[in-house]
Structures are given as C-alpha cells and as structure tokens.
C-alpha cells in the first residue's frame, strides 16, 4: 500500500485503492545543490532554473480490498463463536482446537527450518505400518502428543506414528473426546521442500467401551470436527465442525491463524484428476476406464504426492483426488481414521463428495486403528463421473 500521485510529473503510481487528498506542487531539487560538490553543481546546471517540476493530486491510501491484515477473526474467536451456538457447550472443545493450533505453529516452525536445524532425513525406525519414519514425523508427533495430552477433556489419542491409541483419561478421570491424527502427511517429500501437513479428526469418547482401539473405530459420520494444516508456501488451517468449512492462514507476525474464508465451497466441477497414474495398470478396471476417457476429454493431471496438498488444491479449485486399490496396496493406501474420514468430512461440508469403494467414506466403520481404504473425493460432478464408470 502506498500514496499515489496523479498529475503531470513522473509516474509513481502504485497498485492500491486511493482517495484524493488535495493538490500538490513540487519543484526540482537543484536549488539546494551544495556549491562545494562539483558533481551536484553540474547536475543542478543540467536541470536549468528553478521551476514547478510537477503538480497534481495526492491520493490518500485506502486499504486494498484484498488485504486481510486487519482481519482479527482468529481461529480461537471463530471456535468460541461456533460454541456459543450450543448453549450446553463447556469450552472443552475450544481447548482442544487451541492445542492443535499451538502444535501446528510449532510444527510449521520446525518444517520451515528443517534443513537449517538438521531435521531433514530418516529417523532410523520403521512405524507399525512398515513405513520409514522421518525425523520430522517424530517431532510433529511429539508436538501434538504434548499439546493435546495436557488438555483435560482428551480421553484417547491415536496417531499414525504410534502402534496403539493412548488412553489418557477414562471413566472417573473424565475425558470427553478422542483425537486422531496423521502428524505429518507427505513426509517422504520433505527432502524436496514440497508442502506437507497435519490431518486430524475429533470423535466423542464413549467411557463404557474399555478398549481404546474399539473406542476410536467409529464411522466418520460420528466426527465432531475434522481438519488439516498445510505447511506450504503459507501455513493454512482448514476446519469443519459440521457447519461448513472455514479456512485460516497463519499470520507469522502476530502468531495467530486468521480467518481467510468461511463457508468454503468446492467448485461443482473442474477437468482435473489427481492420482498416482504410474499405478494405473493395477487399478480396478473402472478407474482405468475413467482415465482412458479423461485422456481424450480435455482433462489435466495434478499430483503432488502429499494428500493434504492434493486435497487442498482440489478443495479450492475442484476436480477429483483418488487413491484406488493397487497391487501393492489392495485395500488402498490411505488410512481411514486420520486421513480418509476427516478429508471426507471436509469435502462433504464444502459441497463435494467422498467415496471408499461403493459406499460413502463417512459411513464406513473400521475395525482397526490403522486400517486403509480406497479414496475417491472431490467436486460433486467429477466424483459422480468416476463412479459412472463403476469406480
Ligand atoms: P504419510 O506421509 O502420512 O505416510 O502419507 C503419505 C500418503 C499421502 O500423503 C499421499 O497421498 C500418498 O501417501 C502418496 O502415495 P504414493 O507415493 O504411493 O503416490
Ligand atoms: Mn498421511
Ligand atoms: Mn504421516
């Protein structure tokens, strides 16, 4: 943002919205030349006698219409307003979101400085799912465990990086919610600076179920909230509590996630598909047929290889994201509880669709914490198009 002058002098116009403040006249600077400086004296001589150099109207800067830097609707305020709509709400839920937000800021900081602080690379262990852990997987997991673990309303935590869900408080000890998360999605891409993210899902705790695994194995329809944080060119927090989708961006100067867009809607259609097409020869036939059709129907392909980044692009610009069953992963690769289910909740809340095989992703009930499912989600008409091939 800057002042804009309009007149007969040199153009210093800047891109901002302005309103006129009044007239101005400026003269050339040669009258102030210091005679002891030969270069300045020569320059003044070249400019000629004193005269009006330029004149015109000075415009006062007005906030550009797309500048949100004075928007102080923080994530915290947004959740408090949402909670106020439920008179019985106790504020516990706000504390959980604030723990995720705090952990996300810490993870964002680690991700941004990863190479400088030596946090890039393998941790040296394999998680229960047979995947090699990156140092940042472990750092992100610790940040979430620590921040969420201190919240009195958290009963159970389940993470992609841990073999079993952790019971923190049950029965008499309280604990209303279970929080499930993928601490760092797309972490195998960290070496190349690609966007990565955190995905989370919040479920109610049923204290009558003693087993932690059974407690968290709920269908996605039972989610109280879900969201993700994308550590990309900026840090983005996307959240749904079942009342539409809200998008926040981290303002690093004040350390808060600020509301950028409420009630986000996914475009109804867009000719873009996002899939690891190298595996196409082992996809079930309907997916192969769809891709063959798309190749001759003006479609573009976009695939980052970080679900958070691919889903975020799909949410904002439309199209379809898929991870079908493959020969290597016959059940699909995406984990139900902390990847497919929260993303499906967000998609549906934004007006899109999400399917796992023949059924709505949200209606599936897993039986294991790290269970995998096929994923097909995105714009309504694009998902329906894939399904029309039998996918
Ligand atoms: P994670 O890094 O949490 O293990 O998840 C990786 C997932 C997901 O982010 C992405 O969509 C998918 O793996 C990519 O798999 P491919 O490399 O097989 O395409
Ligand atoms: Mn993941
Ligand atoms: Mn992960």
Q: 120-136, pLDDT tens digit by residue? A: 888 888 888 888 899 99
Domain spanning 75-261, CATH architecture: 2-Layer Sandwich (3.30)
CA 184 / ligand 3 centre spacing (Å): 4
What residue segments make up the domains of the chain, in order of their start? 5-59, 75-261, 272-387
Nearest partner of 306 among 137, 98, 180, judged by Cα: 137
Q: What is the mean pLDDT of residues 43-49?
A: 47
CA 308 / ligand 2 centre spacing (Å): 8
User: How high does pLDDT run on average in the chain?
Assistant: 86
Name the residue of 314, 333, 339 to mutate for ligand 1: max ligand atoms within 8 A of Cβ: 333
CA 197 / ligand 2 centre spacing (Å): 8
Q: Is the pLDDT confidence value at 387 over 50?
A: yes
Which pTM was predicted? 0.83
Return the sign of the alpha-carbon dihedral for residues 32, 37, 42, 45.
Answer: positive
Nearest partner of 327 among 358, 299, 293, 288, judged by Cα: 288
Q: What is the mean pLDDT of residues 316-330?
A: 98
The CATH T-level fold of domain 272-387 is: D-Maltodextrin-Binding Protein; domain 2 (3.40.190)
> Of 7-11, 15-19, 144-148, 299-303, where does mean pLDDT reach its minimum?
7-11
Protein residue whose Cα sits closest to atom 15 of ligand 1: 305
Annotate 306-332 with DSSP letters as a single string: -HHHHHHHHHHH--EEEE---SS-TT-
For residue 215, what is the enclosing H or E element? Answer: helix 212-216
CA 84 / ligand 3 centre spacing (Å): 34
> Of 39-53, 54-68, 199-213, 375-389, where does mean pLDDT reach its minimum?
39-53
Q: What is the CA radius of gyration of the chain?
A: 27
- Residue 41 confidence class, pLDDT cut points 50, 70, 90: very low
pLDDT in tens, 162-184: 999 999 997 778 799 999 999 99
User: What is the distance between the alpha carbons of residues 286 and 344, in angstroms, rounded to a whole number?
Assistant: 21
């Amino acid at each position: 943002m800057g002042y804009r002058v309009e007149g007969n002098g040199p153009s210093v116009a800047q891109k901002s919205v302005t309103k006129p403040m009044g007239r101005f006249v400026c003269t050339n600077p040669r009258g102030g030349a210091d005679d002891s400086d030969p270069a300045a004296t020569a320059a003044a001589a070249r400019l000629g006698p004193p005269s009006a150099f330029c004149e015109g109207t000075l415009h006062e800067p007005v906030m550009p219409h797309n500048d949100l830097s004075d928007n102080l609707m923080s994530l915290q305020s947004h959740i408090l307003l949402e909670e106020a709509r439920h008179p019985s709400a106790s504020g516990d839920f706000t504390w959980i979101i604030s723990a995720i937000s705090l952990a996300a800021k810490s993870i964002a900081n680690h991700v941004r400085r990863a190479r400088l602080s030596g946090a890039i690379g393998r941790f040296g262990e394999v998680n229960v799912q047979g995947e090699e852990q990156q140092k940042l997987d472990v750092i992100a997991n610790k940040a979430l465990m620590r921040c969420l673990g201190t919240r009195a309303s958290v009963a159970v935590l389940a993470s992609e990086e841990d073999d079993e869900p952790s019971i923190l408080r049950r029965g008499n000890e309280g604990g209303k919610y279970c929080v499930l998360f993928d601490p760092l999605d797309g972490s195998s891409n960290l070496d190349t600076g690609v966007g990565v993210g955190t995905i989370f899902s919040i479920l109610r705790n049923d204290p009558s179920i003693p087993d932690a695994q059974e407690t968290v194995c709920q269908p996605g329809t039972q989610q109280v909230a879900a969201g993700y944080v994308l550590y990309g060119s900026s840090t983005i927090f996307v959240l749904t509590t079942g009342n539409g989708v809200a998008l926040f961006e981290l303002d690093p100067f004040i350390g808060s996630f600020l509301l950028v867009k409420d009630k986000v809607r996914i475009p109804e259609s867009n000719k873009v598909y996002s899939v690891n097409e190298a595996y196409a020869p082992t996809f079930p036939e309907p997916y192969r047929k769809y891709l063959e059709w798309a190749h001759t129907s003006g479609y573009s392909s976009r695939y980052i290889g970080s679900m958070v980044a691919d889903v975020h692009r799909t949410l904002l610009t439309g199209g379809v994201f898929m991870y079908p069953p493959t020969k290597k992963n016959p059940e699909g690769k995406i984990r139900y509880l902390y990847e497919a289910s929260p993303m499906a909740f967000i998609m549906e809340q934004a007006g899109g669709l999400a399917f796992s095989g023949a059924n709505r992703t949200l209606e599936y009930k897993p039986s294991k914490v790290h269970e995998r499912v096929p994923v097909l989600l995105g714009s309504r008409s694009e998902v329906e198009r894939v399904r029309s091939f039998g996918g």
